[in-house]
Structure 1
């Protein structure tokens, strides 16, 4: 009898241990992923698109079982906020994400001014910040928690201008227009240097305030210097459409360049026939032959969700959510410090296929996601991809990993 009691006690302890182990193995926690982007105004479709793609990636990962680290399964929840593309709203959003939501991962963010406000909190608190902000100052060795998951003017401008100049060798002069903010101010000197390297003289540099609705005086100023080309820099598609339309009314019909033009829909809708011929470096044909199956799927979803085709800026959070997952698994940790150490060392899957982080030569540390530069042009009201440039650094990384 005594032996039976001991056996039963041992069995009970064993069962309890197994139950505890099973409960531990099945433990599930939710990690909040933040998004800070414009969801109103001229750039609203960028932010709404980022929210949608981030949620798509999170849903896919959650449905597949989440991220398993040790004995815990982690699920993702996306919370997106409108930063209105300015520093004041960006500060409010930063407080919401970091202090209220206690998020340690921001998977989507747009706009240099609002992102700098967010970054002051993320870097200080060890929060990972994936950003599409185009300013060069947003990353570097002093900002180890910041990563860029989409191309910026520093990746785009040289290949785009090279292509345009090759197609239009007679170009000798260019007039430039940019928003008068941190993004525009950082992009303009890089663009000017790139044009001048090709022997094209910058004859006019112009600025406008975001929120401007009267573009006729600006168009008159641009046309007055009779440039061979007009470069609208980081001007959003809605504003660019108005500018090109006003230029057409004035009779100017030179080479039109919008380096960070993100898609044809708004540009064509607002600019009409004046949008034809515009060259862009930040758009992409995600239903064409070079798109992946996943990108075609996301493109169709984006059309239904916000009424326009997918663009690289909107796609970026989808890839950053998968990069975050890969970083967690490589580090076997959910700690931001461990993840940012692991990410530059791995090759991981994105909507484009395999990629990696690089860009140390430009930024001082490998914080730039290496993805193709897609050069597009609006032809007869439709977006056509005319050239795709795969970064040499990515080619080298992939060759080493094979």
Structure 2
């Protein structure tokens, strides 16, 4: 077996359960994990007659609810339960003279392709679900292999695998921005606030996710006048990140870009870089929360830029969602806030298409949907020129800065996408 073949891929490593982030453990310990099954959100306050008429829209969450990436699935679960309650108690989905309530059905994929396929198959053929939500690479692949041929609309959070954003996957939507899209908000902010940066080095995992994110890094450097000085890949089982950071700093970068790197590993690398004397900004678009980084890196957590991370409410809706999450789950997870608007985009698509049964019409409407004043401001789908179809969600990007061991929201802007996107 070659050296390359011996490397543990990200997906293989996640299957082993070798690592679980502190934040995921805290969320699960707090009782936020929902048991797989059916949830009729807001049923006690729903519009009278909708359930009796059978006017129910089933939305399936085929997400990891156990294992090392359970945090991601839990955030989807929390967001959709809150959003479904909000929609149902506010009168439901209006299509013509009919009112529909939303029913949430949840299955745990454990972030494996076989479990994702099994969950999606059961949702579609047993539960008769026409709208599915998924999260994480292995789960997305297993789910999409079932949903797309069955003309089921899929909302997914998954970076990389851009070949799957195409007209061949007409019913699939990337409802979460990747580091590429959010970078067209965070890179301009960094250049404005760190005008001396001219070069950037990349650190990422040695797998398809890391390779895809390095490609995004190259695009962002090119489009923002920075020189990419090189990359360093790490294995997911790595525990000592000092050698990795040492290799990156040997390239003499003005800034470090690490992606897709979760908060625990971000914290380790931030601490290592600062202890070795690096003073430039550190950009980590996949961390998406601050608690772990601040706890691990402490005073070393300074000039760390975290895109798409909302720490402080700027609108009444953001305050409502944060307070509601704390009341329900004991903690607000920024990632759940990012997912809150997804169901509202679907609601708009159902009402615009005037149907819940014709998923082709709903997919067309979803691709052309536009939300204003959502949790993350304006939300649209773009990518028609680069992918041939509008299936990549774009929205306002909150940017949180860690400075001297404290987190502060410093910007909230819409990504300025390049021509031809």
- Cα deviation, residue 51, structure 1: 0.7
Q: How far off is 1:236 after superposition? A: 1.3
Native 8 Å contact 2:137 2:158 kept in 1: yes
Counterpart in the other structure of 2:37: none
Residues 188-227 of structure 1, C-alpha deviation per residue, up to 9 Å, x if partnerless? 1121232244443333312234454443443333344443
Q: How does the TM-score come out when normalised to structure 1?
A: 0.80
- Once the two structures are superposed, the pairs formed by residues 1-400 of structure 1 within 5 Å of their partners are 27-40=53-66, 43-69=69-95, 73-85=99-111, 87-107=113-133, 109-135=134-160, 136-210=162-236, 212-287=238-313, 291-305=314-328, 308-311=331-334, 313-335=335-357, 336-348=359-371, 350-352=374-376, 355-391=379-415
Q: Distance in 2 between matches of 1:211 and 1:82?
A: 24
Give the CA RMSD over aligned residues: 3.0
Aligned-pair distance for 1:59? 1.3
1:184–1:233 Cα contact (<8 Å) kept: yes
Structure 2 unaligned residues grouped into runs of 5+:
1-47
- Normalising by the residue count of structure 2, what TM-score does the alignment of the two structures yield? 0.76
Q: Kindly tell me: are residues 212 and 28 of structure 1, through their superposed partners in 2, closer, same or farther at Cα, counting changes over 3 Å?
A: farther
Does the 8 A contact of 1:286 with 1:310 survive in 2?
no
- Asked if structure 1 preserves the Cα contact closer than 8 Å seen for 2:75 and 2:339, the reply is no
SS, match of residue 125 in structure 1? coil
The offset of 1:354, in angstroms, is 5.5
User: What CA deviation, in whole Å up to 9, does each residue of 1:230-275 have, x standing for no partner?
Assistant: 1112211122112212333444333211123312122212222222
Q: Return closer, same or farther for 1:88/1:247 CA change in 2, 3 Å cut-off.
A: farther
Task: Give 3-state SS (helix, strand or coil) of 2:75's partner.
Answer: helix
Deviates more, 1:259-268 or 1:219-228: 219-228
Alignment length (residue pairs): 367
Q: SS at 1:169's partner residue?
A: coil
| Structure 1 SS opposite 2:204 | strand
* In 2: Cα distance, 1:44 partner to 1:305 partner: 18
Whole-angstrom distance in 2 between the partners of 1:220 and 1:165:
24
Any conservation in 2 of the 1:149–1:319 contact (CA below 8 Å)? Answer: no
